[in-house]
Structure 1
Amino acid sequence: MRLLVTGGAGFVGSNLVRAALRHGGYADVRVIDDFSTGVERNLAGIEAEVIRGSILDGEALSRAMLGRDAVVHLAALPSVPRSIADPVSTHAANATGTLCVLEAARRADVPHVVVASSSSVYGANPVLPKDELAWTRPMSPYAVSKLSTEAYALAYQACFGLPTLAFRFFNIFGPGQRHDHAYAAVIPRFVHAALRGEPVVVHGDGRQSRDFTYVETVCRVLLDAVTRRVQHAQPVNLAFGNRIELQTVLTQLEQIIGRPIERTMLAPRPGDVRHSQADTGTLRQLFPDVAPTPVEDGLRATVEWFRGWLPAPAPRERAGHAEALGSTVAVTSPS
């Protein structure tokens, strides 16, 4: 199996590349990434061909497609707040970028393309759990761009006979997820702050909930989809119905690290959805053998990864933490 992963230096992409090479059958893995959000250290020690370039660069993308048996399209500009700050760049990377990937795959006769959409497309629809045939009402430019992503994939299936599968990712977390930028997701920010004895920031009251999904489980589903060339005429939720409040995540983290976590509560962010939970019927039908990693086990593995990666806090930081244990802290709503 000759696999191309767009955005392969990113969080999910690099985990997928490692999983593909580790589990065999994918001796030939190629990555295309412009390293605008992905980082080179994510691919350290990986025996994969890397093409440094944007999916908006037709020449680089055509080279990346040559001889591929399948494409997993993960390249994107993530984050709701980022899209509000710069909607044009988000549209270019996510909507136009997906169109470029699908057209390049069609021209290169690649027989299977999997794309990553997002649960954010449900937006203002309050019904839980979220069924793939439920109405969508995006609340941010990011959500609109992801609705375009899945719509283009399904249109290419209908118009050109290109076998495609559009997954709606929910809140993926795990080792390798960045905490160190303005648009970082909630769990890496929580873990990083907690391990350093710093307050965690929560946008909102902490009672907002998300269907958190461990990255290893996501990679297992993606590889199974590629191996069996699974296609579907509708988007597919890639989550397992594990709706958890942010305050509960913090409580679990306190149990894992063995000390209280200070919280700083801020106002809710524009474009954030209050609750999210996947209906799992279609996923279970297409992938009956996939067993999800429990969220608490995934949190434990994420904490251990951060512990191995982070420098120890300075003595002054430790002292400050000891004095602040009795105070209250905040929770950040996920992007």
Structure 2
Amino acid sequence: MYDINYHQEELKDKTFLVTGGAGFIGSNLVEYLLKYGAGKVRVLDNFSTGSMRNLENFKDHPAFELIEGDIRNIEVCRTAVEGIDYVSHQAALGSVPRSINDPATSNDVNISGHLNMLLASRDAQVKRFVYAASSSTYGDHPELPKIEEKIGKPLSPYAVTKYVNELYAQVFSSTYNFHTIGLRYFNVFGPRQNPAGPYAAVIPLFIEAALKAVAPVINGDGETSRDFTFVENAVQANVKAMLLPELTNSTVLNIAYGERTTLNELWKRIAGVCEIDIQPVYREERKGDVKHSLAAIDKAASIINYQPHVSVLEGISISLQWYKEN
């Protein structure tokens, strides 16, 4: 992974904080920053969903630091941003079903924690604050592809929390002149994504099923479609957003590949790579799920020169190899 070096010279001597850095996207970002010479990469994580295993390869790196703490504690957030130039705020409780089962905790982590990180970063005068937004913000808006300025009503507590993140970002921009970039992720997948637990994402579940040669479970008829995005593309977006030299207001950007794949097509691709012929098991659709998702990525291309280099099929092949080895 990370064959393309976007910013080696620009990373030198710069300091970064990655909240949720023991998680899936966060740890891939940490890997990139350390590999390409960042002066310091500090991780803040409470390990509620992240794993120390994701950080094992970095713990002895001289530029790596770890703070075990919770973004719901403002003093922890203030400590974490001390001496930091750039913040990538990835810490959150993901999953629509999780938020439906426990909306209060999703609210505390995703909204109160986000506000704490904004406050701490504003007060520390960090150069750039980039945060994980979500395509769930589009809610019931039917238009495809999804365009940043057109959203509908949220369909889950999780979607509410991610939309509130964007509202706070806008208010911090207009009120405090603290400008941020929200990255609306579209179904990011890749190495280190956990297939275990009740809230696992579909691609690691499908890969696990394929490697075990068992039938995957699909919610609905399998014609639900998503804009699946390999994690290296999301890492690229974070780095480019953090290093954007000038920002005059807060903005949100779709981070996706720009291609729609149904769940049935996804399973066929994974099964094809694994050379197996097994039919899925279908069950009822989940509450709160959007039926179709496809992103317009023109705005991200224009503002941060976002160019997703890894296709869905390439990403599946890389991911399969990683899961085989791990």
Do both proteins adopt the same fold according to a TM-score greater than 0.5, normalized to the shorter chain?
A: yes
| TM alignment of 1:68-107, pairs within 5 A | 68-107=84-123
- Runs of 5+ consecutive residues of structure 2 not aligned to the other structure: 1-13
Matched, 1:122 2:138: yes
Distance of 1:115 and 1:183 partners within structure 2: 21
The residue matched to 1:168 in structure 2 has which SS? strand
Distance of 2:306 and 2:157 partners within structure 1: 35
Which residue does 1:287 correspond to in 2? 304
The residue matched to 1:235 in structure 2 has which SS? strand
Preserved CA contact (<8 Å) 2:240 2:305: no
Within the candidate set 209, 215, 224, 2:231 is matched to 215
Preserved CA contact (<8 Å) 2:86 2:128: yes
The residue matched to 2:109 in structure 1 has which SS? helix
| TM alignment of 1:35-46, pairs within 5 A | 35-46=47-58
Q: How many residues in Structure 1 have an aligned counterpart in Structure 2?
A: 308
TM score, norm. by length of structure 1: 0.89
- Which structure has the bigger radius of gyration? 1
The residue matched to 2:251 in structure 1 has which SS? coil
Instruction: Give, in angstroms, the shift of residue 264 of structure 1.
Output: 0.9
Matched, 1:257 2:274: yes
Preserved CA contact (<8 Å) 2:140 2:155: yes
Within the candidate set 34, 37, 59, 2:46 is matched to 34
Distance of 2:295 and 2:259 partners within structure 1: 8
Instruction: Give, in angstroms, the shift of residue 242 of structure 1.
Output: 1.0
Distance of 1:303 and 1:282 partners within structure 2: 31
Preserved CA contact (<8 Å) 1:68 1:110: yes
Worse-superposed segment, 264-273 or 232-241: 232-241
Which residue does 1:269 correspond to in 2? 286
| TM alignment of 1:30-179, pairs within 5 A | 30-46=42-58, 47=61, 48-179=64-195
The code of the aligned residue for 2:57 comes to G
The residue matched to 2:228 in structure 1 has which SS? strand
**Which whole-Å deviations, capped at 9, do the CAs of 1:285-311 have from their partners, x for residues lacking one?**
1133624311100000010011111xx
Within the candidate set 14, 22, 36, 1:23 is matched to 36
Preserved CA contact (<8 Å) 1:157 1:163: yes
Which residue does 2:3 correspond to in 1? none
Preserved CA contact (<8 Å) 1:154 1:166: no
The code of the aligned residue for 1:89 comes to T
TM score, norm. by length of structure 2: 0.92
Preserved CA contact (<8 Å) 2:74 2:117: no
The code of the aligned residue for 1:5 comes to V
Matched, 1:300 2:312: no
Distance of 2:231 and 2:137 partners within structure 1: 20
Change (3 A) 1:308 1:230: farther
| TM alignment of 1:186-265, pairs within 5 A | 186-229=202-245, 231=247, 233-265=250-282
Distance of 1:235 and 1:226 partners within structure 2: 13
Preserved CA contact (<8 Å) 1:111 1:162: no
Distance of 2:110 and 2:34 partners within structure 1: 27
Distance of 1:265 and 1:208 partners within structure 2: 12
Distance of 2:245 and 2:132 partners within structure 1: 15
Worse-superposed segment, 108-117 or 69-78: 108-117
Distance of 1:13 and 1:178 partners within structure 2: 13
The residue matched to 1:3 in structure 2 has which SS? strand
Preserved CA contact (<8 Å) 2:254 2:295: yes
The residue matched to 1:131 in structure 2 has which SS? coil
Instruction: Give, in angstroms, the shift of residue 217 of structure 1.
Output: 1.1
Change (3 A) 1:8 1:301: same
Distance of 2:245 and 2:23 partners within structure 1: 23
Distance of 1:226 and 1:197 partners within structure 2: 41
- Runs of 5+ consecutive residues of structure 1 not aligned to the other structure: 310-335
Distance of 2:212 and 2:313 partners within structure 1: 20
Distance of 1:230 and 1:268 partners within structure 2: 44
Distance of 1:240 and 1:223 partners within structure 2: 17
Change (3 A) 1:230 1:269: farther
Change (3 A) 1:289 1:144: closer
The residue matched to 1:274 in structure 2 has which SS? coil
Distance of 2:321 and 2:213 partners within structure 1: 16
Instruction: Give, in angstroms, the shift of residue 230 of structure 1.
Output: 5.6
